Amino acid sequence: MTDGEFDVLILGAGSGGYACALRAAQLGLSVGLVEKGKLGGTCLHVGCIPTKALLHAAEVADQTRESEKFGVAATLEGIEMTGVNEYKDKVVARLFKGLTGLIKGRGITVIEGEGRMTGPHQVTVRSSVEPGETTYTGQTLVLASGSYSRSLPGLDVDGERILTSEHALRLDRVPRSVVVLGGGVIGCEFASVWASFGAEVTIIEALPRLLPVEDEASSKALERAFRKRKIQVRTSTPFQSVKVTDDGVAVFVEGADDGQSVIEAEMLLVAVGRGPTTDGLGYAEQGVAMDRGFVLADERCRTNLEGVYAVGDIVPGLQLAHRGFQQGILVAEEIAGLDPTPIDEAGIPRITYSHPEVASVGLDEAAARTAYGDEAVETVTYDLGANGKSQILMTQGFVKLVRQKDGPVVGVHMVGDRVGELIGEAQLIYNWEAYAEDVAPLVHAHPTQNEALGEAHMALAGKPLHAHS
């Protein structure tokens, strides 16, 4: 390759883009990585990592507040957001430093600037370091431009009273009260953080339940837990408008009998999902097949253009960092001719890191019954009340299994503090098409929450021990 020409040219250095770059370089390919911001993208800097740091600080606050339950004399004097933000930013900085070192060590060329697709295998970059534009080419082009926080028509985000998740991560104080517009993952996680920090929180969700993509039992369990924590939950409540007031915001929603009601708070968090960052990047102009801003790609992340791939949040499906990460690896191996196995979208783990956590993989009960028929689906629910470690942690919840009758487990659904750490074994069970009888004999260490997975599979295999009928 000559200067400006690469085996693989990647537009975007988020989870999907940098994973593709690292794996491609590992396989001996020359790589150009275009990024207008920082390596790591949304997940590292304004998404997964900083949000989970806030959630851990919230867990510490809850444990301090409830320390007497454990025989520990401690008092929660308050939340110092300066200190919380310093802790959060240090976590991000350490990971960013490590990623930067990895990229440099693999010989990857990082091109700093705003890029747009200007040819089938060509990206033109307006440099953020030097004036002017430069055009780069790749034998293969990978589109990995990520996503942005959506809003709603007529809802003007100002970053002070009306926030996106990016603004929420930079707050220097805990709001007295917050309305969270959207009961999905982002909304539930921030609602959980702010409630732990002492704010009054109200969630507004137009659909009938929180986390609508999860199993209905998980959604109901989270809603009960939130109400117990004094988080107000208003489902089946469409948003109408918002007005900025002297004291904060007045949020107007549909009320009973098609009327209107108002909820007042200091701030409104807009958490209605994320959209694909593709506008103005030249994709459609160069002939890339699109649908409502998303780039269409097949199971191997190939677009309709030869030698052009797309990964991450710009591809329809779950908008999860680990999905994009694995897609990036798949594309690098596909380019190198390794013929990797396509990713089963249902086999991608899903976690909401609220208090309590919600984790799942595979099909929920409704989807399984649609796919296989009511008579061909069996479920079992194991209550964490019978799990020793869960009692030590003083958490409540369950493990719910869904399987084809006389067949493999097709869904695992869990609710409870720290159950996200169990998703590793759960995704192996689903992706390796394990039967309950395969998992039941496995030895799970005692006392761990991991035992709950083992006990649930014992029950599904017809030999329950710590499970009540």
- Residue 142 token pair: 């990978």
Out of 229, 253, 272, pick the residue that ends a domain: 272
| 288 plus 382 within the same structural domain | no
Q: Average pLDDT, stretch 1-25?
A: 92
Domain harbouring 241, CATH code: 3.50.50.60
In terms of residue numbers, what domain contains 305?
A: 5-148+275-345
Looking only at the bridges linking them, the beta strands covering 177-181 and 267-270 are parallel
- State whether residue 279 is helix, strand or coil: coil
Q: Count the alpha carbons within 13 Å of 408 in the hemisphere toward its beta carbon.
A: 13
Q: Which residues of 70-100 are buried (b: 16+ CB within 10 A; e: fewer)?
A: eeeeeeeeebebeebbeebeebbeeebeebe
Please tell me whether residues 234 and 382 are part of one structural domain.
Answer: no
Cβ atoms of 135 and 124 closer than 8 Å: yes
If asked whether residues 144 and 279 sit together in one domain, one would say yes
pLDDT at 153 (0 to 100): 87
Pair 18, 126 in one domain:
yes
What tens digit of pLDDT does each residue of 208-221 get?
Answer: 999 999 999 999 99
Chain segment 343-398, per-residue pLDDT in tens:
999 999 999 999 999 999 999 999 999 999 999 999 999 999 999 999 999 999 99
| Range 84-93 average pLDDT | 98
Asked, for residue 469, whether it belongs to a domain, the answer is no
Q: Residue 45 in contact with residue 121, Cβ under 8 Å? A: no
322 is catalytic: no
Find the catalytic residue in 45, 446, 457, 466. Answer: 446
Q: What percent of the chain has pLDDT over 70?
A: 98
Q: Is the pLDDT of residue 1 over 60?
A: no
The stretch 405-416 carries a mean pLDDT of 97
Round to whole Å and give the CA distance between 271 and 274: 8
Cα–Cα distance measured from residue 267 to residue 262, given in angstroms and rounded to the nearest whole number: 14
Q: How many domains does the chain have?
A: 3
Residues in the chain: 469
Q: Is residue 469's pLDDT more than 60?
A: no
- B/e letters for 46-66, b = 16+ CB within 10 Å, e = fewer, are bbbbbbbbbbebbbebbbeee
* Secondary structure (3-state) at 29: coil
This prediction's pTM? 0.96
